[in-house]
Amino acid sequence: MWTIIKISWKNVWRNPVRSGVVITAVMLGIWAGIFIVGFTNGMSQQRLKDQLDTYTGHIQVHTPAFVSDKKVSQYIPDGDSVLAQLRRTPGVVAAIPHTVATGLASSSTNSYGSTIVGVDPNAESTVLTLPHKLVEGNFFTEDKRFPVVIGKSLAKRLNVHMGSKIVLTFQDTTNNITASAFRIVGIFKTSNNTYDESHVFIRSSDLNNLLGTHDLIHEIVIKTTDAHQAPAIAKKMQQQFPSLSVQSWQEVAPELRLLDSTIKLEIYIFMTILVLALALGIVNTMLMAILERTRELGMLMAVGMNKKRVFGMIVAETFFLSFVGAPLGIFFSWITIKLTGNYGINLSVVARGLSQFGYGSIIYPILDNAYYFHIALMMVAAALLSAVYPAIKALRLRPVQAIRKM
Amino acid sequence: MSIIHTKNITKIYTETSVPVNALNGVTLDVEKGEFTSIVGPSGSGKTTLLNIIGGLDSPTEGNIIIDQTDLGTLSDSELISFRLSHIGFVFQAYNLIPVLTARENVEFIMQLQGRSKKECHERAESLLHAVGLQDRMDNRPSELSGGQQQRVAVARALASKPKFVLADEPTANLDSKSTANLLDIMYRLNQEEHITFIFSTHDQRVIDRALRIVTLEDGKIIKDETH
């Protein structure tokens, strides 16, 4: 066995340029492939985390009617008590109440449809990071009359800036139109342009006053210890409050669930295609090597090298060709992903386009260690597959004809 | 008792549009310790006969019995094992493994037989010494002359302790000096160690040194002389 391995290793280096090209191609292919996978995964994970942390939360609680109609009258009965009970549920880190109205934000020059969210300024940042996404002003830290925080995109559309007044118009609980002027005290910017254009934040006390009510809660946003545990926790909450609609982030934002579940599949499909392409290159090289060494293989079989050993020699050569480059590629991609994952890749040149799709402009590639292991296994499988055909070709040689081959 | 016995060997190649009758009822016995040349013009069937004796090709008709074993009864894998243990081969184009040194080329055959590392090492050295290559043991084939490569091939053929050595036109690519040198070595091994050599050749220098000359023509033995 050792003799076969030794000869196989030496055979690989019989044509150093050709083997070098194949090994380099495998290394670069694996390197680039894994890095692209890490980059894509990083983008998706970032978007997922960003959206969960910024505005979706891990679990949302509404009345079933509010989920479909979004009417002010569809508030959570006895909201304060529900909120208190939810905060005590195991696995819950924090829960915040929102009062929500749908209306219009208008400036002197323009109007835009908006979701008006009434928040508790002190509690908001315990669940969502929106208060930290301000590019100007503050998140209701100054005691001013009717302050509002709007998105940068909306400010641009309305042609307003810090200190400007905008009018928010919406229906109250009796279906009458009510409106009030608010002064801009903060401008936020998330990685999702569409969200920034369509949401304005005011104090829930102000919104309740305008609605003619007191402490109305339409939405409770919950942060759990682990986002992936949210469905299980939501299920328990749903049992506790059967008349309410308790939705995990996967139900609130199905596109995020799709993103989360398909990214793994995409990674494997992409890497399978890449590894197969590399395997075809290796098959080609091995077929050329066998063609060149027909006479030698004939001699080996003539003098008594059995088929098992010939097969083993070709398989070992294929493995060497694959497994000099593959570990290097995996190692370099691991280093590259670690480095770029720490410092990020700045894509601010295309920030606007990325933002339209909810992606940030600095991408932090990331890939679980398990993927590296799986990719290494895929390479083993590909090397085995790519060895079979050349090895069968070699076994089909008839020594008497092969020896005479020029 | 002969170590090689061929009985009414016929070989017809049917791969071509017109079937070629390469051997036509060849019966031949070779005794242990012979130094035999199979001669004849091109196309007379020398190489075909050698391939059939070596178990590399099978006859269309007839039997080939080596050391009391009928090769026709062996499966492919049994035939490979049989060749490894019974037959040494020397080819016209040397056919050494280019990535191995002279010593490793000789050791390789013994390693296929599963012999110990020490035995492989010692026997390879001894054989290379016997063919006068004690100073070139660690050279690769590309660093050796044609004559030296063919001497390594002879050492390799003997490494497995075969019953006999088949050499297909072993001097075809050698100059006069290398040919004489190679023939001296093989003759000495034949005389001193009673190793059986069977050549196919049309090289007069080889024919002159042979102790038995079997002449083929159109696939038939037309003359069998012992000197």
pLDDT, one tens digit per residue, over B147-191 is 899 899 989 998 888 889 999 988 888 888 888 888 888 888 888
Question: Closest by alpha carbon to A6, among A312, A386, A393, A339?
Answer: A312
Q: State the CB neighbour count (10 A cutoff) for residue B63.
A: 15
Determine the pLDDT at residue A173: 81
- The amino acid sitting at A90 is P
Half-sphere exposure in the Cβ direction for A16 (13 Å, CA): 1
| pTM for the structure as a whole | 0.73
Task: List the single residue in A with minimal CA-CA distance to B99.
Answer: A10
| Phi/psi of residue B149, nearest 5 degrees | -65, -40
Q: Which domains can be identified in chain B, with CATH numbers?
A: 2-226 (3.40.50.300)
Among A7, A11, A306, the residue with its CB nearest the CB of B77 is A306
Q: What is the pLDDT at residue A334?
A: 95
Pull the structure tokens for residue A232. Answer: 């299980």
pLDDT of A385 reads 87
Q: What is the pLDDT of residues B103-149, one digit of tens each?
A: 999 999 999 998 999 999 999 999 999 888 889 999 999 999 988 99
CA distance A136 to A127: 21
Band the pLDDT of B192: cuts 50, 70, 90: confident
pLDDT of amino acid B6 = 92
**CA-CA distances (angstroms) from residue B35 to A45, B186, B199?**
80, 9, 8
pLDDT in tens, chain A (406 residues): 778 888 899 888 888 898 899 899 989 999 999 999 999 889 888 888 888 998 899 999 999 999 988 888 899 999 999 999 999 999 999 999 999 999 999 999 999 999 999 999 999 999 999 999 999 999 998 888 899 999 999 999 999 999 999 999 998 888 888 999 999 999 999 888 889 999 999 999 999 999 888 889 999 999 999 988 999 999 999 999 999 999 999 999 888 888 777 888 888 898 899 889 888 988 988 898 888 888 888 999 998 898 899 999 999 998 888 888 889 999 999 999 999 999 988 888 777 777 777 677 788 999 989 889 998 898 888 888 888 899 998 888 888 888 776 5
Structure tokens at B196: 């059986």
Burial level of A58, CB count in 10 A (0-12/13-18/19+)?
A: buried
Residue B98: pLDDT over 80 = yes
The residue with tokens 């209701």 is A140
Segment 308-347 of chain A within 8 Å of chain B by CB:
309
Q: Where are the alpha helices (DSSP H) in B38-133?
A: 46-53, 76-86, 102-112, 117-130
Query: Which pair of structure tokens corresponds to residue A294?
Result: 């027909």
Distance, CA of A9 to CA of B111 (rounded, Å): 17
Residues of B in contact with A306 (CB under 8 A): 77, 80-81
Residue B169: predicted pLDDT: 86
Does any CB of chain B come closer than 8 Å to the CB of residue A307?
A: yes
Which candidate from A296, A304, A307 shows the least CB-CB separation from B97?
A: A296
Contact between residue B192 and residue B130 where contact means Cβ atoms under 8 Å apart: no
Is residue B1 very low, low, confident or very high in pLDDT (cuts 50, 70, 90)?
low
Q: Is A400 on the interface with B (CB under 8 A)?
A: yes
Among A7, A299, A400, select the one facing B51 at the smallest CB separation. A400
User: Higher confidence at residue B214 or residue B176?
Assistant: B214
Amino acid at A55: Y
User: What proportion of chain B, given as a percentage, has pLDDT over 70?
Assistant: 100
Contact between B99 and A10 using a beta-carbon 8 Å cutoff: yes
Q: Mean pLDDT, to the nearest integer, of B11-15? A: 87
Residue B103: its chain A contacts at CB < 8 A? none
ipTM: 0.88
Residue B84 has what pLDDT?
Answer: 92
Could you give the angle at the alpha carbon of A201 between the alpha carbons of A193 and A159, nearest 5°?
A: 55
Chosen for mutation from A2, A295, A303 (greatest number of chain B CBs closer than 10 Å) is A303
C-alpha–C-alpha distance, residues A37 and A45, integer Å: 12
